[in-house]
């Protein structure tokens, strides 16, 4: 088991990549605090873990809210006795409008959840990771933080911000044996992807355009990247954006 007896917080654990990662980390021996603003989603993930013999608790929190972010960390520590890994993965997609059409409220909401929420998770996790003598911080950025995607001004700014924040945290806390990395997914088949499609099936042209394998990624493929970054197998890897996009950004 690659995460035996490690304690992990996973935000956005009630769906998509967060759920796949929660299930995989638990299978690899971690005790998982599954955090989501959608309590029912988090509880469903926990049921999947515990029915397979794993250990997990559900915590309802809005990652953009300081009190919630602080209590998700203290709740995980109270239950499992410490913290080794945080995967700041919760995020929203925004409205898909061009820059001049985005309202201030829409811009602020995407930044609050996708950027401030990641910072709050890191901020409250750090003292607990230091107490443990080290740990792994992983955050979900996006290929949108690297290449231009029309209709994603706030989202791209937030995800590029996560990449920058990751480097700063790695530089500041490396001396505590804390690593910070982020994952830049390409197009991954989750509920978010279904919402972006607006209920319409994706065309063959779209699937060809969005990866070199002519298919979308699966949440489990992001979970495997997160497992690598969480485990000791990546113990000399820090400050990195790990692109998991089926080669989309190379086109
Ligand atoms: P998803 O919608 O399936 O899951 C996101 C989860 O985050 C949901 O359970 C949702 O309830 C939760 N969430 C939303 N706002 C929250 C908040 N304020 N506090 C706590 N939880 C909140 O989406 P997903 O595709 O699994 O997305 C996971 C991450 O991956 C996001 O950060 C997203 O931006 C990023 N991402 C997704 C794709 C993709 O193609 N799906 C590509 C690149 C990056």
What pLDDT digit, counting tens, does each position of 70-128 carry?
Answer: 999 999 999 999 999 999 999 999 999 999 999 999 999 999 999 999 999 999 999 99
54 CA to centre of ligand 1 in angstroms: 23
- The count of structural domains within the chain is 1
For the chain, strand residue ranges (E) read 7-11, 31-36, 55-60, 85-88, 135-140, 178-185, 241-244
Q: Per-residue confidence at 197, pLDDT binned at 50, 70, 90?
A: confident
- In-domain check, residue 111: yes
pLDDT band at 203 (very low <50, low <70, confident <90, very high): confident
- Alpha-carbon span 121 to 123, nearest angstrom: 6
Average pLDDT, the chain: 97
pLDDT at residue 208, as a whole number: 86
Chain segment 215-232, per-residue pLDDT in tens: 999 999 999 999 999 999
Q: Is residue 69 part of a domain?
A: yes
Does the pLDDT value for residue 199 go beyond 90? Answer: no
Taking alpha carbons only, the member of 153, 160, 170, 77 closest to residue 110 is 153
DSSP SS3 for 158: helix
Domain that holds residue 11: 7-250
Q: What single DSSP character describes residue 147? A: S
How many C-beta atoms lie closer than 10 Å to residue 222's C-beta?
25
Q: From CA 139, how far away is CA 181, in angstroms rounded?
A: 7
Instruction: Please give all residues whose beta carbon lies within 6 A of any atom in ligand 1, as ranges.
Output: 11-12, 14-18, 36-38, 41, 61-64, 89-92, 113, 117, 140, 142, 185, 187-188, 190-193
Note the pTM of the prediction, 2 decimals.
0.98
Would 1 be classed as within a structural domain? no
Q: What is the CATH number of the domain that holds 103?
A: 3.40.50.720
- Which pLDDT belongs to residue 179? 99
Q: Is 64 within the bounds of a domain?
A: yes
């Amino acid at each position: 088991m690659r995460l035996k007896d490690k304690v992990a917080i996973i935000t956005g654990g009630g769906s998509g990549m967060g759920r796949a990662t929660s299930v995989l980390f638990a299978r690899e021996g971690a005790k998982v605090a599954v955090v989501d603003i959608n309590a029912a989603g988090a509880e469903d993930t926990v049921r999947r873990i515990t029915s397979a013999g794993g250990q997990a608790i559900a915590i309802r929190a809005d990652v953009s809210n300081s009190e919630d972010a602080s209590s998700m960390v203290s709740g995980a520590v109270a239950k499992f006795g410490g913290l080794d890994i945080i995967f700041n993965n919760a995020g929203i997609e925004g409205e898909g409008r061009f820059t001049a059409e985005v309202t201030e409220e829409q811009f602020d909401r995407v930044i609050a959840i996708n950027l401030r929420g990641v910072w709050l998770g890191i901020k409250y996790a750090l003292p607990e990771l230091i107490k443990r003598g080290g740990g792994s911080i992983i955050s979900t950025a996006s290929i949108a933080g690297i290449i231009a995607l029309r209709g994603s001004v706030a989202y791209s700014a937030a995800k590029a911000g996560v990449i920058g924040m990751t480097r700063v945290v790695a530089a500041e806390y490396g001396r505590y044996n804390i690593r910070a990395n982020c994952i830049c997914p390409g197009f991954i088949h989750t509920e978010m992807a279904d919402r972006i499609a607006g209920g319409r099936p994706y065309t063959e042209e779209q699937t060809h355009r969005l990866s070199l394998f002519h298919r979308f990624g699966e949440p489990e493929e992001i979970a495997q990247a997160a497992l690598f970054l969480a485990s000791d197998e990546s113990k000399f890897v820090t400050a990195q954006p790990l692109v998991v996009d089926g080669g989309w950004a190379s086109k």
